[in-house]
A and B are shown apart, each in its own frame.
Chain A
Amino acid sequence: MTGTAIKVEGLSKKYYLGYNAVTISERIKSLFPSEKKNKRDEFWALKDVSFEIKEGEAVGIIGRNGAGKSTLLKLLSRITLPTTGRFELNGRVSSLLEVGTGFHPELSGQENIYLNGTILGMTRKEVKSKFDEIVEFAGVEKFLSTPVKHYSSGMTVRLAFSVAAHLEPEILIVDEVLAVGDAEFQKKCLGKMDDVSKSDGKTVIFVSHDMTAIENLCNRAILLNKGSVIVHGDVHTTIRSYLSQVSRKSKVISLNDDQSDNKDFLFKSICFREIGHNDLLEFLSSGLDIEIKINYLSKIRDSPELIVSIGFFTQNGTFLFACRTDTINRKLSIKENGELICMIPNFPLRNGVYYFNIIAYSKGEVLDHIQTAGEITVEGGDFYGTGKTPAGNRPGILVQYDWAAH
């Protein structure tokens, strides 16, 4: 017999855009109703969300950027309180919205294990009993008395994750923390999470853009869009409806529904054109000279460190190639509201359906990152200029080559 682990009823969260009375004079000004705090400055990050999760279920939360996934996690983790509605959690909860919360660079590895473990809700005694396991899992035995500031970033992440992995909650709430660390360690962590949800019969809520991870880990999923639950059901069905939402047939793909974030840089939309033509393309074909037009909003001017990249993946998530500005030493000067153009002559993908992501960094910091930004269909075309379409029906990359016999 399984009971209810999580019950959510009519949960909503409202934010005020740009409303942050931080100094007394601003507070006094906002007392006068002439300005500010209009109805339109309200933003519902989550609106009337209800669902129930049974004990032992592993549920993935999916949706586009700004759909309300993070807000939902923050509410369930009790970091922030709902504007309306209620929820109930039955069991000991651990939430991991970040790895290494509270890590202090001046403290040693050992001290940070205790610090981080306690912050995550363990008692000192519990950390002590798990200490050896944690150290072994992270593989940092030799560096226990070294201050964490001398650790490599990979070691820090491994240590932090190892602490988190040894929590013993009945309900585990995980944000996309797996997006850090090297691939091998990620696999180890996914394995550990899988153990938690499957063998121990614990309840897991997992937010990710990585559909493969969701599919492997979860048996059910919830699709959010603009703060509401669109689908709640079997993981495969829900992912399929998410992907069809992403690939909505429209020539201009809008990228960010997110208005709550005060990001410095935001991708707005993306579309495809043939070089020298103005018509937007609904699908591409191999060998076409294309340009990708990306619209953005930016609060930063002329960042010499700005790096933009667009990457292409197969439908099951295999990376194919990426066009990064820094690889070809291209510096982009940006303004408040403009467009970036990426030109790809002789488009090298075979016929098939592909996903692309888009990311902007500056000084090593992610400004905006949209995984599964959209879907693009490529039809077979005359890539080699031979007047015919390459044979075969599998997605993949086309390369220029030649043969000779001597």
Chain B
Amino acid sequence: MKKRDRVKVDSERSSISLGLKELVDYKDLFLILAYRDFRVRYAQTYLGFVWAFMQPAITLLIFIVVFGVAAKVDTKDVPYPVFAIVGMSAWSYFSFVMMQSGNSVINAQSMIKKIYFPRLVIPLAKSLVGLVDFFIVFLMMIIVLIYYQQPISGNIYYFPFFVFMNIVSALAVGIWLSALTVRYRDFQHIIPFATQFGLYATPIAYPSDAIVGSLDPFVLIIYYLNPMAGIVEGYRLSILGLGEINFYSYISYGVVIMLFISGMIYFKKVERTMADIV
């Protein structure tokens, strides 16, 4: 005989668990929601999937013109396009998840008001869809690396770790923002602006040594509270052997972990009243 399902709900006992086991039970829902988002994303567009290449390609072009040609940023012996696309490959995934998950719960409100499921599935599905974008920029990066015949650094073994951190940091920010936007619609306006700001506040288009050398420690700590600062550096270190992991980078990694844990807790808290306030 199969195990009986049993549900107990008690207003006086709030659960302390994050419901991770339940998330596993709902993995099919998570996968199909991600599939849905992926399928409808370019539905009825003329260029279709080409759009996924266009955005990073154009951003890269602007960087090359502004930072590489006009401002002549010092990237040691690495050609500027190689330098920039490695940073962008980390950033593009992060910014996609950040932009998409903010509104994700609000966009799913008709579902939330009609059926029970662990709400965390919604922002998680967005982060899965984002992997497609990540893969595309990653491909572009490989093409650029081959074109410039850039030798791969011996630190490449660290790369999977930084990819992992990249995903965790995107999830952390995505979970936080999806829960915050439900409570405060203000974030619908903050997120696009913050994404734009983050593109320049992260050492993507320029090397971080330019900053580390010229700012005083207090400002630097603030700079490295950016969860992506350390990760972008990690990408460059592991692929190009450029730069180093300094003391400040560890602050950035610490922020990622803290954001992730606190985000899960905050989301759980908002989840309790989500159907009533969304």
Which of A's residues lie within 8 Å of B, judged by CB?
15, 20-24, 27, 74-75, 77-93, 95, 97-98, 101-102, 104, 106-107, 111, 114-115, 118-121, 123-124, 170
**What are 11 pairs between A and B in contact, CB < 8 Å?**
A24-B184, A79-B113, A79-B115, A80-B276, A82-B11, A87-B8, A93-B5, A107-B40, A119-B115, A124-B31, A170-B5
- Interface presence of B43 (CB below 8 A): yes
- Interface presence of B222 (CB below 8 A): no
Instruction: List A contacts of B186 (CB < 8 A).
Output: 23-24
Instruction: List B contacts of A22 (CB < 8 A).
Output: 183-185, 277
**Distance of A353 Cα from B127 Cα, bound (Å):** 61
Instruction: List A contacts of B40 (CB < 8 A).
Output: 104, 106-107
Instruction: List B contacts of A88 (CB < 8 A).
Output: 6-9
Instruction: List A contacts of B115 (CB < 8 A).
Output: 77, 79, 95, 97-98, 101-102, 119-120
**Distance of A192 Cα from B6 Cα, bound (Å):** 25
Among A15, A23, A82, contact of B185 (Cβ-Cβ < 8 Å): A23
Residue pair A79, B9 in contact (C-beta under 8 Å): no
- Interface presence of B23 (CB below 8 A): no
Instruction: List B contacts of A97 (CB < 8 A).
Output: 114-115
Given that A106-B43, A118-B28, A119-B29 are contacting pairs, would A78 and B9 also be in contact in the complex, using a CB cutoff of 8 Å?
yes
Instruction: List B contacts of A102 (CB < 8 A).
Output: 110-111, 115
Given that A15-B276, A86-B12 are contacting pairs, would A124 and B28 also be in contact in the complex, using a CB cutoff of 8 Å?
yes
Which of B's residues lie within 8 Å of A, judged by CB?
4-12, 28-29, 31-33, 35-36, 39-40, 43-44, 110-117, 183-186, 272-273, 275-277
Residue pair B184, A115 in contact (C-beta under 8 Å): no
Residue pair A93, B7 in contact (C-beta under 8 Å): yes
**Distance of A16 Cα from B211 Cα, bound (Å):** 51
Among B35, B111, B275, contact of A101 (Cβ-Cβ < 8 Å): B111
Among A27, A81, A121, A170, contact of B11 (Cβ-Cβ < 8 Å): A81
Instruction: List B contacts of A121 (CB < 8 A).
Output: 117
Residue pair A77, B6 in contact (C-beta under 8 Å): no
Given that A79-B114, A85-B11, A86-B8 are contacting pairs, would A27 and B28 also be in contact in the complex, using a CB cutoff of 8 Å?
no
Residue pair A89, B39 in contact (C-beta under 8 Å): no
Given that A78-B9, A106-B43 are contacting pairs, would A98 and B114 also be in contact in the complex, using a CB cutoff of 8 Å?
yes
Is chain B's binding surface mostly helix, strand, loop or mixed?
mixed
Instruction: List A contacts of B44 (CB < 8 A).
Output: 106
Instruction: List A contacts of B111 (CB < 8 A).
Output: 101-102, 119
Instruction: List B contacts of A74 (CB < 8 A).
Output: 275
Residue pair B4, A91 in contact (C-beta under 8 Å): yes
Instruction: List A contacts of B35 (CB < 8 A).
Output: 111
- Other than the given A21-B183, A88-B9, A93-B5, 5 more pairs (CB < 8 A) read A74-B275, A87-B9, A88-B7, A93-B7, A106-B44
**Distance of A90 Cα from B9 Cα, bound (Å):** 12
Chain A residue with minimal CB distance to B43? A106
Give the 5 A-B CB pairs with smallest separation, nearest first: A86-B10, A78-B116, A89-B7, A106-B43, A106-B40
Instruction: List B contacts of A101 (CB < 8 A).
Output: 110-111, 114-115
Residue pair B39, A106 in contact (C-beta under 8 Å): yes
Closest Cβ of chain B to A294, distance in Å, is: 30
**Distance of A102 Cα from B115 Cα, bound (Å):** 10
Closest Cβ of chain B to A388, distance in Å, is: 56
Instruction: List B contacts of A83 (CB < 8 A).
Output: 11
**Distance of A98 Cα from B33 Cα, bound (Å):** 19
Instruction: List B contacts of A90 (CB < 8 A).
Output: 4-6
Chain B residue with minimal CB distance to A3? B4
Instruction: List A contacts of B272 (CB < 8 A).
Output: 81
**Distance of A369 Cα from B143 Cα, bound (Å):** 62
Instruction: List B contacts of A114 (CB < 8 A).
Output: 32
Instruction: List A contacts of B277 (CB < 8 A).
Output: 20, 22
**Distance of A111 Cα from B36 Cα, bound (Å):** 8
Given that A97-B114, A118-B28 are contacting pairs, would A92 and B9 also be in contact in the complex, using a CB cutoff of 8 Å?
no
Instruction: List B contacts of A20 (CB < 8 A).
Output: 277
Among B4, B31, B39, contact of A111 (Cβ-Cβ < 8 Å): B39
**Distance of A81 Cα from B113 Cα, bound (Å):** 12
Most buried by B among A80, A97, A118: A118
Chain A residue with minimal CB distance to B8? A88
Closest Cβ of chain B to A401, distance in Å, is: 50
**Distance of A329 Cα from B268 Cα, bound (Å):** 53
Residue pair A86, B184 in contact (C-beta under 8 Å): no
Among B32, B43, B276, contact of A124 (Cβ-Cβ < 8 Å): B32
**Distance of A153 Cα from B28 Cα, bound (Å):** 28
Closest Cβ of chain A to B107, distance in Å, is: 11
Closest Cβ of chain B to A242, distance in Å, is: 26
Instruction: List B contacts of A106 (CB < 8 A).
Output: 39-40, 43-44
Residue pair B28, A123 in contact (C-beta under 8 Å): yes
Instruction: List A contacts of B183 (CB < 8 A).
Output: 21-22, 27
Closest Cβ of chain A to B195, distance in Å, is: 19
Instruction: List A contacts of B10 (CB < 8 A).
Output: 85-86
Residue pair B275, A79 in contact (C-beta under 8 Å): yes
Closest Cβ of chain A to B276, distance in Å, is: 6
Residue pair A81, B36 in contact (C-beta under 8 Å): no
Chain B residue with minimal CB distance to A25? B186
Chain B residue with minimal CB distance to A16? B276
Closest Cβ of chain B to A89, distance in Å, is: 4
Chain B residue with minimal CB distance to A114? B32
Closest Cβ of chain B to A353, distance in Å, is: 37
**Distance of A119 Cα from B275 Cα, bound (Å):** 16
Closest Cβ of chain A to B227, distance in Å, is: 22
Among A77, A92, A107, contact of B116 (Cβ-Cβ < 8 Å): A77
Instruction: List A contacts of B43 (CB < 8 A).
Output: 106
**Distance of A74 Cα from B115 Cα, bound (Å):** 8
Closest Cβ of chain A to B3, distance in Å, is: 10
Chain B residue with minimal CB distance to A123? B28
Among B9, B12, B32, B273, contact of A118 (Cβ-Cβ < 8 Å): B32
**Distance of A89 Cα from B7 Cα, bound (Å):** 5
Among A81, A95, A115, contact of B273 (Cβ-Cβ < 8 Å): A81
**Distance of A20 Cα from B182 Cα, bound (Å):** 11
Residue pair A84, B7 in contact (C-beta under 8 Å): no
Most buried by A among B29, B40, B114, B117: B114
